[in-house]
Amino acid sequence: MTDNDAPIVGIDLGTTNSLVAYADEAGPHLIHGPAGAEDVILPSVIGFDLSGGDVTVGHTARLHAVEKPETTVHSIKRLMGRGFGDLRAESKRLPYRVLRRGCEIEERDVASVVIGEKFYTPPQLSAMILAELKRRATGYLGREVTKAVITVPAHFDDTQRQATRDAGLIAGLDVVRIVNEPTAAALAYGLDRAETATIAVYDLGGGTFDISILRIEDGMFEVLSTDGDTHLGGDDFDHCLIDLFIREVHKQFGVDITTPTIKQQLRTLAEEIKVRLSNADEAQVEIAIGPKDVYRRVIRRDEFEGMIEPLIERTIAACGRAAKAARVRVDEIDRVVMVGGSTRVPLIRQRVAEAFACAPYTAINPDHVVAMGAAVQASILSGAQRGMLLFDVTPLSLGIETMGGAMGKLIPANVRIPCKATENFTTFQDGQTAVKINVLQGEREMAKDCRSLGVFELRGIPPMPAGLPKIKVTFLIDQNGILDVTAVEERSGKNASVQIVPSYGLTRDEVKHLQEDAIAHAREDMSAHHLADVRTTVEFDLNKASGMIQKYGHLLPAGQRDELTRQLNELKELSKISDDPHAINKARMKFNHKTVPLAEIAVKESLKDS
Ligand code: ADP
Ligand code: MG
């Protein structure tokens, strides 16, 4: 994987459809499948044949989806990086079985898909799709493709990105970069080369809707906000038509056409009609009911538009929310990029144009644009083009638990990645040889209100007086949003590290919830944090003082030692019962002042010792 000349392909790993593209001197182009130049879209569907053990990916698998619901896997992207607990509601919508299954990595609440007797994790299944794309690219380029840029929705969190990388790894692909889908779409249009601009990327796919507001400045992208609907897309348009057919056939012929095989045909037919209505004012439907009966019907575009209009309005409402969250007015948005096969529907283009008061970008085929952008990114990375940088931001703050249970932020939310932050810590007790490091994500001030991403221990610190070891903790977030945490004790060189693979993912709603929660609790959290810090300092000072009293107390004038011990206990008590950080801190300083004579003795004595 150190081959610098190895080609890098760009992959759009979609919920409904996946594509692979490659950029050469002539620019990005899609790589097609065995059926010829038009065959560039690989449906993200995997079909298992239990008898022969065969696995098929793509159109064939999709055709059998309804007949063999239990052995056909679609929408696997919805499961990526999500814990079983997160998926309870989702799995009810899926025809295949999803179960919890522990795996090698401790405590991971992993959801697996059950096919026959076998369990498959979501990355394993996504890897089957990636493997097919890899095969196509290898055939096309005439050399083995081992490197790829893969796109993910902007709202994907750490775990979901990590799962996507894992899928690449399983498929034998070194994922050199994970790129946000809206960023890729903007890149495909070369918008990174434009002047400073605020752009909206409207992405309506088969089953999901995403709206992202991006800011481009000096070739750098920043995601200002995301919104959308995880269950809204072209499939819902198909269902409007299917329901119409079922209703009318029943009324006209008294026949129920909801059996699985017919349903599959209806699905294919409905999608075909929908696609035709994107280009024509009407489309003819024919369904053979019996040996003689045929259901015949002309569907007009305006009739179809009437059915899907409420769905479109939902997307427009989400656009308004996203603009608000990004703190821009809709009319301040300079450009709107259309992404996703469903944006081919004319009414959608019209409504988006009206809502943003500008003509949306539609020149690049909306179902190809993300893959094209991924290829552009890939070519930038392979050095074909230089001078362009890509940045995204951290969705939530990251930090570690400090003494006393507070959240010590190292990297705040909305910082551009890649990024790095360091902070120095020390030990708390004399002779302490290990420290536990709890990595946190969240906006609240106290560790218990944040999400723990992982805990690790730095061991083997040589025994030293408290406060002397210098422990440097470094957070490094790479371009893919994956976090590496390292801790090193600088006097001894002892070090420890973790790469964060969080135990479950956060949904868009959860991120939003966490942010709102933080705002709601800001005031009390701040004082709780302050109180925890003060108590920690007190404890530190008390430990030091009691050590000195034990060792050198007998050298103090009679009575002073007992008096100091009494004051020490008083401060200890106050720190425990009072919740006024200012009062505690005042008492601490007063106490420290009293320990000065003892400290002087301690210094003199320790000089004698050495
Ligand atoms: P995803 O990103 O979810 O994988 P895509 O962007 O590939 O999905 O979009 C797939 C959806 O686009 C499907 O519902 C498909 O029917 C729809 N679609 C594709 N072409 C057209 C068209 N010409 N008119 C309307 N819908 C279309
Ligand atoms: Mg897509």
Which residue, by CA, sits nearest to atom 26 of ligand 1?
Answer: 342
* Eight-state DSSP code of residue 303: H
Distance between CA atoms of residues 155 and 511, nearest Å = 9
Distance between CA atoms of residues 210 and 571, nearest Å = 56
Q: Quick one: pLDDT at residue 149?
A: 97
- The bound ligand whose nearest atom lies closest to the alpha carbon of 77 is 1
Angstrom distances, CA of residue 570 to CA of 505, 575, 576, 578, 580: 46, 9, 10, 12, 15
Which residue, by CA, sits nearest to atom 13 of ligand 1?
Answer: 206
- The bound ligand whose nearest atom lies closest to the alpha carbon of 153 is 2
Closest residue by Cα to residue 511 from 448, 454, 444, 442: 442
Distance between CA atoms of residues 75 and 458, nearest Å = 41
Nearest-atom number in ligand 1 for the CA of 339 is: 6
378 Cα: distance to centroid of ligand 2 (angstroms): 18
List, as ranges, residues with CB under 5 A of the ion ligand 2. 14, 205
Identify each DSSP E strand in 442-525 by its residue range: 451-458, 471-477, 483-489, 495-499
Nearest-atom number in ligand 1 for the CA of 366 is: 6
Q: Quick one: pLDDT at residue 158?
A: 83
| CATH of range 522-609; options 3.40.50.300, 3.40.50.1820, 3.90.1150.10, 1.20.1270.10 | 1.20.1270.10
The model's confidence at residue 123, banded by pLDDT at 50, 70 and 90, is very high
pLDDT digits (tens, 9 = 90+) for 283-303: 999 998 888 899 999 999 999
Residues within 6 Å of ligand 1 by CB: 14-17, 205-208, 233-235, 271, 274-275, 278, 340-342, 344-345, 367
Top pLDDT among 404 and 523 is at 404
Provide the CB-side half-sphere exposure for 561 (13 A, CA): 14
Beta carbons within 10 angstroms of residue 237's beta carbon: 25
Among 151, 367, 369, 372, which is best to mutate for testing ligand 1, by the most ligand atoms less than 8 A from CB?
367
Distance between CA atoms of residues 389 and 381, nearest Å = 9
599 Cα: distance to centroid of ligand 1 (angstroms): 75
75 Cα: distance to centroid of ligand 2 (angstroms): 12
Which residue, by CA, sits nearest to atom 2 of ligand 1?
Answer: 205
Q: Identify the helix (H) or strand (E) that includes residue 14.
A: none
Largest distance between two CA atoms of the chain = 115
Would the pLDDT of 57 be above 70? Answer: yes
76 Cα: distance to centroid of ligand 2 (angstroms): 13
Query: What fold characterizes domain 234-306?
Result: Actin; Chain A, domain 4 (3.90.640)
Asked whether the beta carbons of 39 and 17 are under 8 A apart, the reply is: no
pLDDT digits (tens, 9 = 90+) for 512-523: 666 667 667 766
- The bound ligand whose nearest atom lies closest to the alpha carbon of 279 is 1
Which residue, by CA, sits nearest to atom 20 of ligand 1?
Answer: 341
Give the ranges where 171-259 is alpha helix by DSSP (H): 181-188, 234-253
CA torsion 161→165→171→174, rounded to 10°? 150
Which residue, by CA, sits nearest to atom 11 of ligand 1?
Answer: 206
* Token reading at 284: 């003819």
pLDDT digits (tens, 9 = 90+) for 79-91: 998 888 788 888 8
SS3 347: helix
Would the pLDDT of 319 be above 80? Answer: yes
* Token reading at 81: 């990086």
Q: Quick one: pLDDT at residue 303?
A: 97
| CATH of range 3-189+366-393; options 3.40.50.970, 3.30.420.40, 3.30.2130.10, 3.40.50.2000 | 3.30.420.40
Asked whether the beta carbons of 258 and 186 are under 8 A apart, the reply is: no
Which residue, by CA, sits nearest to atom 18 of ligand 1?
Answer: 341
- Mean pLDDT is lowest, of 42-46, 83-87, 476-480, 482-486, for 476-480
* Token reading at 555: 């050298």
- The bound ligand whose nearest atom lies closest to the alpha carbon of 346 is 1
Nearest-atom number in ligand 1 for the CA of 18 is: 4
Distance between CA atoms of residues 400 and 403, nearest Å = 10
Would the pLDDT of 111 be above 80? Answer: yes
Distance between CA atoms of residues 433 and 431, nearest Å = 6
Q: Quick one: pLDDT at residue 107?
A: 46
Which residue, by CA, sits nearest to atom 7 of ligand 1?
Answer: 17
151 Cα: distance to centroid of ligand 1 (angstroms): 17
Asked whether the beta carbons of 65 and 108 are under 8 A apart, the reply is: no
Asked whether the beta carbons of 372 and 364 are under 8 A apart, the reply is: yes
Nearest-atom number in ligand 1 for the CA of 234 is: 14
Which residue, by CA, sits nearest to atom 24 of ligand 1?
Answer: 275
Which residue, by CA, sits nearest to atom 19 of ligand 1?
Answer: 341
256 Cα: distance to centroid of ligand 2 (angstroms): 34
Asked whether the beta carbons of 445 and 467 are under 8 A apart, the reply is: no
Closest residue by Cα to residue 230 from 350, 299, 315: 315
DSSP letters, 46-62, are: EEE-TTT--EEESHHHH
Would the pLDDT of 310 be above 60? Answer: yes
Asked whether the beta carbons of 427 and 464 are under 8 A apart, the reply is: yes
Closest residue by Cα to residue 142 from 266, 296, 24, 265: 24
Would the pLDDT of 94 be above 70? Answer: yes
Q: Quick one: pLDDT at residue 153?
A: 94
Distance between CA atoms of residues 585 and 537, nearest Å = 9
Q: Quick one: pLDDT at residue 298?
A: 97
Which residues are identified as catalytic?
12, 77, 181, 203
Cα angle 17, 245, 62 (rounded to 5 degrees) comes to 25
474 Cα: distance to centroid of ligand 1 (angstroms): 43
Closest residue by Cα to residue 440 from 472, 404, 403, 409: 409
- The bound ligand whose nearest atom lies closest to the alpha carbon of 15 is 1
Provide the CB-side half-sphere exposure for 383 (13 A, CA): 5
398-505 carries CATH number 3.40.50.300 = no
Closest residue by Cα to residue 375 from 39, 43, 142, 150: 150
The model's confidence at residue 106, banded by pLDDT at 50, 70 and 90, is very low
Among 12, 13, 16, 304, which is best to mutate for testing ligand 1, by the most ligand atoms less than 8 A from CB?
16
Nearest-atom number in ligand 1 for the CA of 274 is: 25
Closest residue by Cα to residue 253 from 292, 285, 298: 292
Top pLDDT among 441 and 9 is at 9
Phi-psi region of 191 (alpha: psi -120 to 50; beta: other; left: phi over 0): alpha
The domains of the chain are located at: 3-189+366-393, 234-306, 398-505, 522-609
Residue located via tokens 């495909």? 188
The amino acid at 289: I
Would the pLDDT of 129 be above 60? Answer: yes
193 Cα: distance to centroid of ligand 1 (angstroms): 28
The model's confidence at residue 237, banded by pLDDT at 50, 70 and 90, is very high
Asked whether the beta carbons of 212 and 223 are under 8 A apart, the reply is: yes
Q: Cis peptide leading into 418, omega within 30 of 0?
A: yes
Phi-psi region of 404 (alpha: psi -120 to 50; beta: other; left: phi over 0): left
Mean pLDDT of 310-329: 95
SS3 86: helix
The model's confidence at residue 448, banded by pLDDT at 50, 70 and 90, is confident
Beta carbons within 10 angstroms of residue 31's beta carbon: 23
224 Cα: distance to centroid of ligand 2 (angstroms): 20
User: What is the β-pairing status of strands 471-477 and 419-425?
Assistant: antiparallel
Looking at the chain, the whole-number percentage of residues with pLDDT higher than 70 is 91
Nearest-atom number in ligand 1 for the CA of 367 is: 6
Among 18, 59, 208, 342, which is best to mutate for testing ligand 1, by the most ligand atoms less than 8 A from CB?
342
CA torsion 560→563→569→574, rounded to 10°? -120
Out of 36-50, 489-503, 553-567, 587-601, the most confident range is 36-50
